[in-house]
Structure 1
Amino acid sequence: MTSPLVRTTRLATAYRRLLSSADAPRYAAEVDEHYSPMTLATLLRRGDVELRRAAAMALGLLGNSRSIDPLGRALSDVDRGVRLVADDSFRGLLLRDAAPTHHQQLLKVMHLTDGGEFAAALAPAMILVEQSPMYAEAHFQLASCWHGLEDYPKASQAYVACLWRCRFHYTAWQGLARCQIMCGEYLAASKSLERCIDIVPDLESARVQLRMLRRRMRRSDV
Protein backbone atom coordinates (compact mmCIF):
# COMPACT_ATOMS: atom_id res chain seq x y z
CA MET A 1 0.00 0.00 0.00
CA THR A 2 1.27 3.48 -0.87
CA SER A 3 2.21 5.51 2.20
CA PRO A 4 0.49 8.87 2.83
CA LEU A 5 3.87 10.60 2.50
CA VAL A 6 4.46 9.20 -0.98
CA ARG A 7 0.90 10.03 -2.01
CA THR A 8 1.16 13.66 -0.95
CA THR A 9 4.65 13.96 -2.47
CA ARG A 10 3.17 12.88 -5.81
CA LEU A 11 0.59 15.64 -5.62
CA ALA A 12 3.17 18.27 -4.68
CA THR A 13 5.48 17.15 -7.47
CA ALA A 14 2.69 17.27 -10.04
CA TYR A 15 1.64 20.72 -8.82
CA ARG A 16 5.18 22.11 -9.07
CA ARG A 17 5.38 20.76 -12.60
CA LEU A 18 2.08 22.46 -13.41
CA LEU A 19 3.39 25.81 -12.15
CA SER A 20 6.42 25.59 -14.40
CA SER A 21 4.70 24.14 -17.49
CA ALA A 22 1.10 25.40 -17.25
CA ASP A 23 0.10 22.00 -18.66
CA ALA A 24 -3.28 21.54 -16.97
CA PRO A 25 -4.32 18.39 -18.92
CA ARG A 26 -1.13 16.63 -17.82
CA TYR A 27 -1.69 17.73 -14.23
CA ALA A 28 -5.24 16.44 -14.30
CA ALA A 29 -4.12 13.08 -15.71
CA GLU A 30 -1.34 12.68 -13.14
CA VAL A 31 -3.58 13.53 -10.22
CA ASP A 32 -6.50 11.46 -11.48
CA GLU A 33 -4.27 8.37 -11.54
CA HIS A 34 -3.63 8.48 -7.79
CA TYR A 35 -6.29 10.63 -6.08
CA SER A 36 -10.06 10.57 -5.78
CA PRO A 37 -12.05 13.79 -5.30
CA MET A 38 -12.73 12.69 -1.72
CA THR A 39 -9.00 12.38 -0.99
CA LEU A 40 -8.35 15.76 -2.59
CA ALA A 41 -11.08 17.31 -0.43
CA THR A 42 -9.37 15.89 2.66
CA LEU A 43 -6.02 17.34 1.59
CA LEU A 44 -7.70 20.68 0.90
CA ARG A 45 -8.82 20.71 4.52
CA ARG A 46 -5.79 19.18 6.26
CA GLY A 47 -2.73 19.56 4.02
CA ASP A 48 0.01 22.15 4.23
CA VAL A 49 -0.24 25.29 2.10
CA GLU A 50 1.24 23.76 -1.04
CA LEU A 51 -0.96 20.69 -0.84
CA ARG A 52 -4.07 22.79 -0.22
CA ARG A 53 -3.32 24.86 -3.30
CA ALA A 54 -2.65 21.71 -5.32
CA ALA A 55 -5.86 20.07 -4.11
CA ALA A 56 -7.93 23.17 -4.85
CA MET A 57 -6.55 23.28 -8.38
CA ALA A 58 -7.12 19.56 -8.92
CA LEU A 59 -10.71 19.68 -7.67
CA GLY A 60 -11.48 22.36 -10.23
CA LEU A 61 -10.33 19.96 -12.93
CA LEU A 62 -11.50 16.63 -11.54
CA GLY A 63 -14.11 17.43 -8.89
CA ASN A 64 -17.80 16.70 -8.87
CA SER A 65 -20.88 18.02 -7.11
CA ARG A 66 -19.54 16.83 -3.76
CA SER A 67 -16.42 18.96 -4.26
CA ILE A 68 -18.34 22.26 -4.24
CA ASP A 69 -18.78 22.47 -0.46
CA PRO A 70 -15.10 21.71 0.35
CA LEU A 71 -14.06 24.39 -2.12
CA GLY A 72 -16.63 26.76 -0.61
CA ARG A 73 -15.09 26.28 2.82
CA ALA A 74 -11.63 26.90 1.35
CA LEU A 75 -12.72 30.38 0.21
CA SER A 76 -11.88 31.53 3.75
CA ASP A 77 -8.57 29.64 4.02
CA VAL A 78 -5.81 31.45 5.94
CA ASP A 79 -3.62 31.40 2.82
CA ARG A 80 -4.54 33.88 0.10
CA GLY A 81 -3.18 31.60 -2.63
CA VAL A 82 -5.47 28.79 -1.53
CA ARG A 83 -8.40 31.20 -1.48
CA LEU A 84 -7.71 32.39 -5.03
CA VAL A 85 -7.31 28.91 -6.48
CA ALA A 86 -10.34 27.63 -4.58
CA ASP A 87 -12.43 30.52 -5.92
CA ASP A 88 -11.57 29.72 -9.54
CA SER A 89 -12.32 26.03 -9.01
CA PHE A 90 -15.49 26.75 -7.05
CA ARG A 91 -16.96 29.00 -9.72
CA GLY A 92 -15.98 26.58 -12.47
CA LEU A 93 -17.68 23.64 -10.79
CA LEU A 94 -20.81 25.69 -10.11
CA LEU A 95 -21.16 26.33 -13.84
CA ARG A 96 -20.53 22.70 -14.79
CA ASP A 97 -22.73 21.15 -12.07
CA ALA A 98 -25.38 19.96 -14.52
CA ALA A 99 -25.85 17.88 -17.63
CA PRO A 100 -23.92 19.22 -20.66
CA THR A 101 -27.10 20.37 -22.40
CA HIS A 102 -28.16 22.36 -19.34
CA HIS A 103 -24.67 23.82 -19.05
CA GLN A 104 -24.94 25.03 -22.64
CA GLN A 105 -28.35 26.55 -21.92
CA LEU A 106 -26.88 28.33 -18.90
CA LEU A 107 -24.11 29.85 -21.00
CA LYS A 108 -26.71 31.25 -23.40
CA VAL A 109 -28.63 32.80 -20.50
CA MET A 110 -25.41 34.24 -19.07
CA HIS A 111 -24.58 35.81 -22.43
CA LEU A 112 -27.90 37.65 -22.32
CA THR A 113 -27.68 38.73 -18.67
CA ASP A 114 -24.07 39.87 -19.11
CA GLY A 115 -25.34 42.11 -21.91
CA GLY A 116 -28.13 43.49 -19.75
CA GLU A 117 -30.84 41.75 -21.80
CA PHE A 118 -32.74 40.59 -18.74
CA ALA A 119 -36.17 40.40 -20.36
CA ALA A 120 -34.82 38.20 -23.16
CA ALA A 121 -33.00 35.97 -20.65
CA LEU A 122 -35.98 35.51 -18.33
CA ALA A 123 -37.91 32.84 -20.26
CA PRO A 124 -34.90 30.59 -20.99
CA ALA A 125 -33.76 30.98 -17.38
CA MET A 126 -37.18 29.88 -16.11
CA ILE A 127 -37.17 26.90 -18.48
CA LEU A 128 -33.68 25.91 -17.33
CA VAL A 129 -34.70 26.05 -13.66
CA GLU A 130 -37.70 23.84 -14.44
CA GLN A 131 -35.58 21.34 -16.38
CA SER A 132 -32.73 21.25 -13.87
CA PRO A 133 -34.17 22.25 -10.48
CA MET A 134 -31.04 21.35 -8.47
CA TYR A 135 -28.74 23.50 -10.65
CA ALA A 136 -27.78 26.31 -8.26
CA GLU A 137 -26.32 28.51 -10.96
CA ALA A 138 -29.56 28.33 -12.96
CA HIS A 139 -31.44 29.77 -9.98
CA PHE A 140 -28.77 32.46 -9.67
CA GLN A 141 -29.19 33.48 -13.29
CA LEU A 142 -32.96 33.58 -12.85
CA ALA A 143 -32.42 35.82 -9.82
CA SER A 144 -30.18 38.04 -11.94
CA CYS A 145 -32.98 38.39 -14.50
CA TRP A 146 -35.57 39.41 -11.91
CA HIS A 147 -33.02 41.70 -10.27
CA GLY A 148 -32.24 43.40 -13.56
CA LEU A 149 -35.97 43.84 -14.18
CA GLU A 150 -36.25 45.43 -10.70
CA ASP A 151 -38.65 42.81 -9.37
CA TYR A 152 -36.84 42.52 -6.05
CA PRO A 153 -39.23 40.12 -4.25
CA LYS A 154 -38.99 37.57 -7.07
CA ALA A 155 -35.23 38.09 -7.30
CA SER A 156 -34.94 37.46 -3.56
CA GLN A 157 -36.90 34.22 -3.90
CA ALA A 158 -34.60 33.03 -6.68
CA TYR A 159 -31.47 33.98 -4.74
CA VAL A 160 -32.76 32.01 -1.74
CA ALA A 161 -33.47 29.04 -4.02
CA CYS A 162 -29.88 29.23 -5.23
CA LEU A 163 -28.57 29.35 -1.67
CA TRP A 164 -30.64 26.34 -0.64
CA ARG A 165 -28.69 24.43 -3.27
CA CYS A 166 -25.31 25.99 -2.56
CA ARG A 167 -24.89 27.78 0.76
CA PHE A 168 -21.43 29.04 -0.22
CA HIS A 169 -22.68 30.95 -3.30
CA TYR A 170 -21.39 34.29 -2.04
CA THR A 171 -22.53 36.24 -5.10
CA ALA A 172 -26.09 35.11 -4.34
CA TRP A 173 -25.74 36.31 -0.73
CA GLN A 174 -24.59 39.69 -2.01
CA GLY A 175 -27.39 39.89 -4.58
CA LEU A 176 -29.92 38.92 -1.94
CA ALA A 177 -28.63 41.72 0.30
CA ARG A 178 -29.10 44.27 -2.49
CA CYS A 179 -32.71 43.15 -2.96
CA GLN A 180 -33.34 43.27 0.78
CA ILE A 181 -31.99 46.82 0.88
CA MET A 182 -34.31 47.85 -1.96
CA CYS A 183 -37.22 46.36 0.01
CA GLY A 184 -36.19 48.22 3.17
CA GLU A 185 -35.16 45.01 4.98
CA TYR A 186 -31.94 46.46 6.36
CA LEU A 187 -31.33 44.02 9.21
CA ALA A 188 -31.81 41.01 6.95
CA ALA A 189 -29.50 42.62 4.38
CA SER A 190 -26.77 43.16 6.97
CA LYS A 191 -26.97 39.49 7.96
CA SER A 192 -26.75 38.43 4.31
CA LEU A 193 -23.66 40.59 3.80
CA GLU A 194 -22.07 39.27 6.98
CA ARG A 195 -22.60 35.74 5.70
CA CYS A 196 -21.10 36.73 2.35
CA ILE A 197 -17.98 38.12 4.07
CA ASP A 198 -17.68 35.04 6.29
CA ILE A 199 -17.48 32.94 3.14
CA VAL A 200 -15.10 35.25 1.23
CA PRO A 201 -13.17 37.57 3.57
CA ASP A 202 -11.47 39.20 0.56
CA LEU A 203 -14.70 40.49 -1.00
CA GLU A 204 -14.15 44.20 -0.51
CA SER A 205 -17.31 45.22 -2.37
CA ALA A 206 -19.40 43.40 0.25
CA ARG A 207 -17.48 45.09 3.07
CA VAL A 208 -18.10 48.53 1.53
CA GLN A 209 -21.76 47.68 1.05
CA LEU A 210 -22.05 46.57 4.68
CA ARG A 211 -20.38 49.74 5.99
CA MET A 212 -22.75 51.92 3.97
CA LEU A 213 -25.74 49.91 5.15
CA ARG A 214 -24.72 50.21 8.79
CA ARG A 215 -24.38 53.99 8.42
CA ARG A 216 -27.85 54.12 6.90
CA MET A 217 -29.23 52.03 9.75
CA ARG A 218 -27.62 54.31 12.34
CA ARG A 219 -29.08 57.39 10.67
CA SER A 220 -32.53 55.83 10.63
CA ASP A 221 -32.28 55.22 14.39
CA VAL A 222 -31.51 58.87 15.10
Structure 2
Amino acid sequence: MKRPHCDRTSRSNLLLSILFVRRATLEEREPHLLLLYQEYLSSENTARFVSRVAHRYTLSTLERLAWGRRTTRRAAVLALGYLGDYNVNAVLGRALHDKDRGVRLLAENVIRDVWQRDGSRNHQHDLGRIVRWNQCGRLLEAVDLSSKILEVNPHFAEVWNQRAIAYFQLEDFEQSAEDCHMALELNPYHFGAAVGMGHCYLEINDAYAALECFRRALKINPALEGVRAQVGYLERTLDGR
Protein backbone atom coordinates (compact mmCIF):
# COMPACT_ATOMS: atom_id res chain seq x y z
CA MET A 1 0.00 0.00 0.00
CA LYS A 2 1.42 3.39 -0.99
CA ARG A 3 1.86 6.04 1.66
CA PRO A 4 -0.05 9.26 1.09
CA HIS A 5 1.89 11.96 -0.73
CA CYS A 6 1.31 14.33 2.20
CA ASP A 7 3.27 11.98 4.52
CA ARG A 8 6.32 12.12 2.27
CA THR A 9 6.01 15.88 2.01
CA SER A 10 5.75 16.24 5.78
CA ARG A 11 8.84 14.12 6.34
CA SER A 12 10.79 16.13 3.78
CA ASN A 13 9.74 19.38 5.41
CA LEU A 14 10.72 18.05 8.82
CA LEU A 15 14.20 17.06 7.61
CA LEU A 16 14.68 20.45 5.98
CA SER A 17 13.61 22.16 9.19
CA ILE A 18 16.13 20.13 11.24
CA LEU A 19 18.95 20.96 8.82
CA PHE A 20 17.98 24.64 8.86
CA VAL A 21 17.96 24.77 12.67
CA ARG A 22 21.35 23.05 12.90
CA ARG A 23 22.85 25.42 10.36
CA ALA A 24 21.31 28.46 12.02
CA THR A 25 22.57 27.36 15.43
CA LEU A 26 26.09 26.94 14.08
CA GLU A 27 26.00 30.32 12.35
CA GLU A 28 24.73 32.01 15.51
CA ARG A 29 27.58 30.61 17.57
CA GLU A 30 30.39 31.36 15.15
CA PRO A 31 30.38 35.14 15.66
CA HIS A 32 30.63 34.79 19.44
CA LEU A 33 33.61 32.45 19.17
CA LEU A 34 35.22 34.99 16.88
CA LEU A 35 34.57 37.71 19.45
CA LEU A 36 36.21 35.62 22.17
CA TYR A 37 39.15 34.94 19.87
CA GLN A 38 39.61 38.62 19.02
CA GLU A 39 39.54 39.48 22.73
CA TYR A 40 42.17 36.82 23.34
CA LEU A 41 44.43 38.21 20.62
CA SER A 42 44.15 41.68 22.15
CA SER A 43 44.51 40.75 25.82
CA GLU A 44 46.54 37.51 25.59
CA ASN A 45 44.52 36.39 28.60
CA THR A 46 44.53 32.63 28.09
CA ALA A 47 42.64 31.74 31.26
CA ARG A 48 39.79 34.07 30.36
CA PHE A 49 39.57 32.74 26.81
CA VAL A 50 39.52 29.13 27.97
CA SER A 51 36.92 29.81 30.66
CA ARG A 52 34.55 31.67 28.34
CA VAL A 53 34.83 29.16 25.52
CA ALA A 54 34.31 26.23 27.90
CA HIS A 55 31.21 27.92 29.32
CA ARG A 56 29.62 28.38 25.90
CA TYR A 57 30.82 25.51 23.70
CA THR A 58 31.06 21.75 23.78
CA LEU A 59 34.04 19.99 22.22
CA SER A 60 31.83 18.54 19.51
CA THR A 61 30.69 22.03 18.51
CA LEU A 62 34.28 23.27 18.43
CA GLU A 63 35.18 20.32 16.23
CA ARG A 64 32.47 21.34 13.77
CA LEU A 65 33.61 24.95 13.87
CA ALA A 66 37.12 23.78 12.98
CA TRP A 67 35.68 23.30 9.46
CA GLY A 68 34.30 26.85 9.26
CA ARG A 69 35.74 30.02 7.81
CA ARG A 70 39.41 30.89 8.19
CA THR A 71 39.34 32.92 11.41
CA THR A 72 36.74 30.59 12.89
CA ARG A 73 39.01 27.64 12.18
CA ARG A 74 41.87 29.40 13.94
CA ALA A 75 39.73 30.09 16.99
CA ALA A 76 38.34 26.56 17.10
CA VAL A 77 41.76 24.90 16.75
CA LEU A 78 43.19 27.07 19.51
CA ALA A 79 40.25 26.29 21.79
CA LEU A 80 40.47 22.56 21.09
CA GLY A 81 44.15 22.67 21.95
CA TYR A 82 43.40 24.17 25.34
CA LEU A 83 40.23 22.26 26.17
CA GLY A 84 40.43 18.98 24.28
CA ASP A 85 41.82 15.63 25.31
CA TYR A 86 43.31 12.98 23.04
CA ASN A 87 39.94 12.51 21.35
CA VAL A 88 40.46 15.74 19.36
CA ASN A 89 43.79 14.49 18.00
CA ALA A 90 42.37 13.59 14.58
CA VAL A 91 40.74 17.01 14.11
CA LEU A 92 44.00 18.78 14.94
CA GLY A 93 45.95 16.32 12.80
CA ARG A 94 43.83 17.18 9.78
CA ALA A 95 44.30 20.88 10.56
CA LEU A 96 48.03 20.42 9.90
CA HIS A 97 47.01 20.38 6.22
CA ASP A 98 44.72 23.41 6.38
CA LYS A 99 45.05 25.87 3.50
CA ASP A 100 45.54 28.69 6.02
CA ARG A 101 49.05 28.99 7.46
CA GLY A 102 47.72 30.39 10.73
CA VAL A 103 45.56 27.32 11.30
CA ARG A 104 48.48 25.04 10.48
CA LEU A 105 50.79 26.80 12.95
CA LEU A 106 48.20 26.73 15.72
CA ALA A 107 47.51 23.05 15.12
CA GLU A 108 51.21 22.18 15.26
CA ASN A 109 51.64 24.09 18.52
CA VAL A 110 48.66 22.65 20.38
CA ILE A 111 48.59 19.06 19.13
CA ARG A 112 51.73 18.20 21.10
CA ASP A 113 49.91 19.03 24.33
CA VAL A 114 46.92 16.93 23.30
CA TRP A 115 49.19 13.91 22.82
CA GLN A 116 49.92 13.99 26.55
CA ARG A 117 46.23 13.97 27.54
CA ASP A 118 45.63 10.28 27.04
CA GLY A 119 45.29 7.55 29.64
CA SER A 120 44.48 8.03 33.31
CA ARG A 121 45.27 11.17 35.29
CA ASN A 122 47.98 9.29 37.18
CA HIS A 123 49.62 8.20 33.95
CA GLN A 124 49.40 11.72 32.56
CA HIS A 125 51.11 12.98 35.71
CA ASP A 126 53.81 10.34 35.37
CA LEU A 127 54.27 11.25 31.71
CA GLY A 128 55.00 14.82 32.78
CA ARG A 129 57.76 13.48 35.01
CA ILE A 130 59.18 11.42 32.14
CA VAL A 131 59.27 14.48 29.87
CA ARG A 132 61.16 16.46 32.52
CA TRP A 133 63.58 13.59 33.14
CA ASN A 134 64.35 13.35 29.43
CA GLN A 135 65.06 17.06 29.39
CA CYS A 136 67.43 16.97 32.36
CA GLY A 137 69.24 13.73 31.52
CA ARG A 138 67.65 11.32 34.00
CA LEU A 139 67.30 8.86 31.16
CA LEU A 140 67.33 5.51 32.95
CA GLU A 141 64.58 6.72 35.26
CA ALA A 142 62.60 7.87 32.23
CA VAL A 143 62.96 4.45 30.61
CA ASP A 144 61.99 2.65 33.80
CA LEU A 145 58.83 4.67 34.47
CA SER A 146 57.81 4.57 30.80
CA SER A 147 58.13 0.80 30.78
CA LYS A 148 55.98 0.50 33.90
CA ILE A 149 53.23 2.62 32.34
CA LEU A 150 53.34 0.65 29.09
CA GLU A 151 52.90 -2.62 30.96
CA VAL A 152 49.55 -1.30 32.20
CA ASN A 153 48.57 0.87 29.23
CA PRO A 154 50.36 -0.21 26.04
CA HIS A 155 48.13 2.09 23.95
CA PHE A 156 49.55 5.36 25.31
CA ALA A 157 51.39 6.59 22.21
CA GLU A 158 53.21 9.50 23.82
CA VAL A 159 54.78 7.24 26.44
CA TRP A 160 56.27 5.15 23.63
CA ASN A 161 57.57 8.36 22.07
CA GLN A 162 59.13 9.60 25.29
CA ARG A 163 60.79 6.26 25.92
CA ALA A 164 62.14 6.46 22.37
CA ILE A 165 63.63 9.86 23.21
CA ALA A 166 65.32 8.40 26.28
CA TYR A 167 66.71 5.43 24.35
CA PHE A 168 67.99 7.74 21.61
CA GLN A 169 69.95 9.79 24.14
CA LEU A 170 71.28 6.53 25.59
CA GLU A 171 72.42 5.69 22.02
CA ASP A 172 70.23 2.60 21.81
CA PHE A 173 69.05 3.60 18.35
CA GLU A 174 67.41 0.34 17.32
CA GLN A 175 65.22 0.25 20.43
CA SER A 176 64.44 3.93 19.98
CA ALA A 177 63.33 3.28 16.39
CA GLU A 178 61.07 0.44 17.55
CA ASP A 179 59.43 2.70 20.13
CA CYS A 180 58.94 5.44 17.52
CA HIS A 181 57.27 2.87 15.29
CA MET A 182 54.89 1.91 18.09
CA ALA A 183 54.05 5.57 18.74
CA LEU A 184 53.19 6.02 15.06
CA GLU A 185 51.11 2.86 14.94
CA LEU A 186 49.02 4.15 17.83
CA ASN A 187 48.97 7.79 16.73
CA PRO A 188 49.21 8.22 12.94
CA TYR A 189 49.46 12.02 13.36
CA HIS A 190 52.65 11.84 15.45
CA PHE A 191 55.06 13.56 13.09
CA GLY A 192 57.58 13.84 15.93
CA ALA A 193 57.85 10.07 16.17
CA ALA A 194 58.34 9.83 12.40
CA VAL A 195 61.15 12.39 12.54
CA GLY A 196 62.71 10.64 15.53
CA MET A 197 62.65 7.30 13.75
CA GLY A 198 64.38 8.90 10.78
CA HIS A 199 67.20 10.15 12.99
CA CYS A 200 67.55 6.68 14.50
CA TYR A 201 68.06 5.18 11.05
CA LEU A 202 70.61 7.85 10.19
CA GLU A 203 72.56 6.87 13.30
CA ILE A 204 72.67 3.22 12.20
CA ASN A 205 73.61 4.22 8.63
CA ASP A 206 70.36 3.25 6.94
CA ALA A 207 69.78 6.33 4.81
CA TYR A 208 67.02 4.76 2.72
CA ALA A 209 64.91 3.94 5.78
CA ALA A 210 65.63 7.40 7.20
CA LEU A 211 64.43 9.02 3.98
CA GLU A 212 61.15 7.10 4.11
CA CYS A 213 60.60 8.18 7.71
CA PHE A 214 61.22 11.84 6.90
CA ARG A 215 58.87 11.61 3.92
CA ARG A 216 56.24 10.13 6.18
CA ALA A 217 56.70 12.99 8.64
CA LEU A 218 56.13 15.50 5.82
CA LYS A 219 52.96 13.74 4.76
CA ILE A 220 51.66 14.17 8.30
CA ASN A 221 52.90 17.74 8.73
CA PRO A 222 54.00 19.52 5.53
CA ALA A 223 55.23 22.54 7.53
CA LEU A 224 58.39 20.78 8.77
CA GLU A 225 60.85 22.80 6.70
CA GLY A 226 63.93 21.35 8.39
CA VAL A 227 62.72 17.86 7.56
CA ARG A 228 61.99 18.94 3.99
CA ALA A 229 65.60 20.11 3.67
CA GLN A 230 66.79 16.78 5.07
CA VAL A 231 64.68 14.91 2.51
CA GLY A 232 66.19 16.96 -0.31
CA TYR A 233 69.71 16.30 0.94
CA LEU A 234 69.14 12.55 1.26
CA GLU A 235 67.50 12.34 -2.15
CA ARG A 236 70.47 14.05 -3.79
CA THR A 237 72.94 11.91 -1.86
CA LEU A 238 71.23 8.62 -2.63
CA ASP A 239 70.69 9.50 -6.29
CA GLY A 240 74.42 10.07 -6.60
CA ARG A 241 75.30 6.59 -5.40
C-alpha distance in 1 between matches for 2:119 and 2:45: 26
Structure 1 runs of 4+ aligned residues shifted over 4 Å read none
Between structure 1 and structure 2, the one with the greater Rg is 2
| Residue matched to 2:28 | 6
1:168 and 2:189 are equivalent in the alignment: yes
Code of the aligned partner of 1:149: L
Counterpart contact for 2:95–2:104, Cα < 8 Å: yes
C-alpha distance in 1 between matches for 2:208 and 2:99: 29
Task: Please report how far the alpha carbon of residue 55 of structure 1 lies from its aligned counterpart in structure 2 after TM superposition.
Answer: 0.4
Counterpart contact for 1:106–1:138, Cα < 8 Å: yes
C-alpha distance in 1 between matches for 2:183 and 2:173: 15
Task: Please report how far the alpha carbon of residue 160 of structure 1 lies from its aligned counterpart in structure 2 after TM superposition.
Answer: 0.9
| Residue matched to 2:208 | 187
Q: For structure 2, list consecutive stretches of 5 or more residues without a partner in the other structure.
A: 1-20
Counterpart contact for 1:76–1:198, Cα < 8 Å: no
| Residue matched to 1:77 | 98
1:29 and 2:51 are equivalent in the alignment: yes
SS at match of 2:232: helix
Counterpart contact for 2:53–2:79, Cα < 8 Å: yes
Structure 1 window deviating more from structure 2 (181-190 vs 5-14): it is 181-190
Code of the aligned partner of 2:161: F
| Residue matched to 1:146 | 167
Task: Please report how far the alpha carbon of residue 152 of structure 1 lies from its aligned counterpart in structure 2 after TM superposition.
Answer: 1.8
Number of positions where the alignment pairs a residue of Structure 1 with one of Structure 2: 219
Counterpart contact for 2:168–2:200, Cα < 8 Å: yes
C-alpha distance in 2 between matches for 1:109 and 1:59: 24
Counterpart contact for 1:72–1:90, Cα < 8 Å: yes
TM-score by length of 2: 0.83
SS at match of 1:96: coil
2:238 to 202, 214, 217: 217
1:126 to 129, 136, 147: 147
Counterpart contact for 1:37–1:64, Cα < 8 Å: no
Code of the aligned partner of 1:79: D
SS at match of 1:3: helix
Task: Please report how far the alpha carbon of residue 69 of structure 1 lies from its aligned counterpart in structure 2 after TM superposition.
Answer: 1.1
1:68 and 2:86 are equivalent in the alignment: no
1:19 to 33, 41, 51: 41
Quick one: higher RCO (CA 8 Å, sep 6+), 1 or 2?
A: 1
Code of the aligned partner of 1:126: S
| Residue matched to 2:227 | 206
C-alpha distance in 2 between matches for 1:77 and 1:197: 14
Task: Please report how far the alpha carbon of residue 189 of structure 1 lies from its aligned counterpart in structure 2 after TM superposition.
Answer: 2.0
SS at match of 1:78: coil
CA RMSD, aligned part only?
A: 1.8
SS at match of 2:116: helix
Code of the aligned partner of 1:37: L
